[in-house]
């Protein structure tokens, strides 16, 4: 390739870049920004959310929009990185003039975006962020999922009351906020209910060999082992624990929910329990219709993130409708007060504090599938 042709190629690439910058649509539309992790280490999470939100917005627009106005969705990628998420947020607020921000998906990104949204008084709702401290940043910050502490409490209650356990052990990731938060909540509630944490071990993100910790735990012979981590780590722990001969009941969290868990755990997740946002078994028409349509549109069954993304869009739509305008103050009020939304993950009632009041489910792995065991009311909060 000669220098001139290289130059032409370069100019073409740059031209494409410039032309591809989304042109803002004119007319009476409501602009909503979505920040999602479409690339990077957690890209499957981000893509699920993007797919589901796009689907929800298309539905709303097809049904005539909100109070007669169509929704225009602007999607930006944050690579799962806080710095990028902050840039994306500034761009949505300043350049796209969005009425509201949906996202980001993971807690570190949410924590970087929230101060910007709060300062600019643009309401934001993360459909999936579970970190406890998110909603304490300000009154413009909302979420569509439950908090980590709620999740940890539910699992401890289930273990102590429903399973009648008195002794449990914990193995957790000391370097991961999510894991630490869950462990704290589980431990506090379990002990409150008269149970005893007989042993506790920790590791750090990226570790792959847990034999030393598991040996120490196995010596105490606990009735149950709580593993609050993502599927990528929980899988190997499950396998190594069982191969070591540990026969404790395995307790997990929403991070286990992945099609890859079974392969990583060698099938040893069988019989284990997890808390999750929703179950595909719930016999609600909204849930079943969502699963069928999502599967038809994207060729794979929706995971919990897709379900939460869809519900996030529903909450936002309902709030926009209730507010009657895109005025930030009214929208903020509406987001904190909309009630009775029939979502995929159950009935959602928003709370001015920012976190919705909704149910969680307990699932058990039976024959390679997650079966619904129990549905926990929000009163359990």
Partner 1 sequence: MVKPRLTGLIKIILLLCIYGVVRLLESRGLLLPYHVQVLSLCCINVILVVSLNLINGFTGQFSIGHAGFLAIGAYLSAFLTVKMHVPFLAAILCGGLLAGLAGLAVGLPALRLRGDYLAIATLGFGEIIRVIILNMEAVGGAKGFSGIPKYTTFGIAYLTAIITVVVIRNFVHSDYGRACLAVREDEIAAESLGVNSTYFKVLAFALGAFFAGTAGALFSHYLQYMAPTPSQIGFVKSIDILIMLVLGGLGSLTGSVIAAVVLTIIPELLRGFAEYRMIIYPILLIVVMLYLPAGLMAGRELSLDSLARLCKGVKSSAHYS
Contacts with partner 1, residue ranges (CB under 8 A): 6, 9-10, 13, 17-18, 20-22, 38-40, 43, 47, 50, 75-77, 79-84, 86-88, 90-91, 93-95, 108, 111-112, 115-116, 119, 131, 133, 137, 174-177, 179-181, 204
Q: Measured from the CB atom, is 119 or 292 closer to partner 1? A: 119
Q: Measured from the CB atom, is 167 or 200 closer to partner 1? A: 200
Q: Kindly state the smallest distance separating residue 214's Cβ from partner 1, in Å.
A: 22
E strand map for 231-345: 249-252, 273-276, 341-343
Q: Kindly state the smallest distance separating residue 288's Cβ from partner 1, in Å.
A: 29
Q: Measured from the CB atom, is 75 or 185 closer to partner 1? A: 75
Q: Measured from the CB atom, is 65 or 255 closer to partner 1? A: 255
Q: Kindly state the smallest distance separating residue 91's Cβ from partner 1, in Å.
A: 5
Query: What pairs with residue 34 in β-bridges?
Result: 75, 102
Q: Kindly state the smallest distance separating residue 270's Cβ from partner 1, in Å.
A: 31
Q: Measured from the CB atom, is 91 or 196 closer to partner 1? A: 91
Q: Is 181 exposed, middle or buried (0-12, 13-18, 19+ CB in 10 A)?
A: buried
Q: Which residues are CB-neighbours of 22 under 8 A, at least 6 positions away?
A: 74
Q: Kindly state the smallest distance separating residue 336's Cβ from partner 1, in Å.
A: 21
Q: Kindly state the smallest distance separating residue 311's Cβ from partner 1, in Å.
A: 22
Whole-Å CA distances, 119 to 106, 109, 115: 21, 16, 6
Q: Which residues are CB-neighbours of 326 under 8 A, at least 6 positions away?
A: 30, 99, 100, 320
Q: Measured from the CB atom, is 1 or 63 closer to partner 1? A: 1
Q: Measured from the CB atom, is 118 or 215 closer to partner 1? A: 118
Q: Measured from the CB atom, is 137 or 193 closer to partner 1? A: 137
| DSSP result, 202-234 | EE-TT----HHHHHHHHHT--SEEE--S-HHHH
Q: Kindly state the smallest distance separating residue 374's Cβ from partner 1, in Å.
A: 30
CA separation for the pair 34, 323 (Å, rounded)? 20
Residue 215 has which token pair? 């040996």
CA separation for the pair 252, 231 (Å, rounded)? 9
Q: Kindly state the smallest distance separating residue 96's Cβ from partner 1, in Å.
A: 9
Residue 144 has which token pair? 């569509």
Q: Kindly state the smallest distance separating residue 172's Cβ from partner 1, in Å.
A: 11
Q: Are 327 and 159 in contact (CB under 8 A)?
A: no
Q: Measured from the CB atom, is 47 or 287 closer to partner 1? A: 47
CA separation for the pair 111, 123 (Å, rounded)? 14
CA separation for the pair 370, 168 (Å, rounded)? 22
Q: Kindly state the smallest distance separating residue 40's Cβ from partner 1, in Å.
A: 7
Q: Is 337 exposed, middle or buried (0-12, 13-18, 19+ CB in 10 A)?
A: middle
Residue 36 belongs to what H/E stretch? Answer: strand 29-36
Q: Measured from the CB atom, is 121 or 196 closer to partner 1? A: 121
Q: Which residues of 216-249 are buried (b: 16+ CB within 10 A; e: fewer)?
A: ebbeeebbbbbbbbbbbbbbbbbbbbbeeebebb
């Amino acid at each position: 390739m000669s220098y001139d042709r290289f130059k032409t190629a370069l100019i073409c690439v740059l031209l494409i870049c410039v032309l591809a910058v989304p042109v803002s649509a004119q007319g009476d539309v409501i602009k909503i920004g979505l920040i999602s992790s479409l690339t990077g280490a957690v890209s499957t999470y981000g893509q699920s959310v993007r797919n589901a939100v796009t689907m929800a917005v298309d539905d709303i627009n097809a049904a005539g929009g909100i109070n007669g106005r169509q929704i225009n969705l602007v999607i930006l990628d944050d690579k799962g990185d806080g710095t990028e998420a902050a840039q994306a947020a500034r761009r949505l607020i300043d350049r796209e003039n969005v009425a509201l921000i949906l996202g980001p998906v993971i807690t570190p990104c949410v924590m970087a975006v929230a101060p910007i949204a709060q300062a600019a008084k643009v309401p934001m709702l993360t459909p999936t962020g579970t970190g406890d401290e998110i909603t304490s940043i300000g009154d413009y910050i909302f979420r569509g999922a439950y908090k980590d502490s709620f999740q940890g409490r539910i699992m401890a209650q289930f273990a102590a009351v429903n399973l009648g356990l008195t002794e449990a052990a914990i193995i957790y990731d000391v370097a991961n906020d999510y894991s630490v938060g869950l462990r704290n909540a589980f431990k506090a509630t379990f002990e409150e209910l008269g149970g005893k944490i007989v042993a506790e071990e920790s590791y750090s993100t990226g570790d792959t060999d847990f034999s030393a910790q598991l040996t120490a735990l196995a010596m105490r012979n606990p009735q149950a082992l709580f593993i609050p981590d993502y599927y990528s780590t929980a899988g190997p722990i499950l396998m190594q624990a069982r191969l070591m001969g540990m026969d404790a009941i395995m307790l997990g969290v929403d991070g286990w929910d992945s099609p890859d868990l079974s392969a990583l755990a060698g099938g040893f997740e069988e019989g284990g329990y997890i808390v999750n946002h929703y179950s595909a078994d719930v016999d609600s028409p909204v849930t079943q219709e969502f699963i069928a349509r999502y599967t038809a549109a994207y060729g794979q069954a929706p995971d919990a993130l897709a379900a939460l993304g869809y519900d996030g869009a529903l909450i936002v739509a309902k709030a926009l409708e209730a507010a009657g305008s895109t005025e930030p103050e009214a929208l903020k009020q509406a987001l904190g007060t909309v009630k009775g939304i029939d979502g995929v993950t159950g009935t959602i009632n928003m709370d001015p504090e920012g976190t919705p009041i909704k149910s969680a489910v307990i699932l058990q792995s039976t024959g390679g599938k997650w079966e619904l065991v129990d549905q926990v009311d929000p009163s359990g909060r």
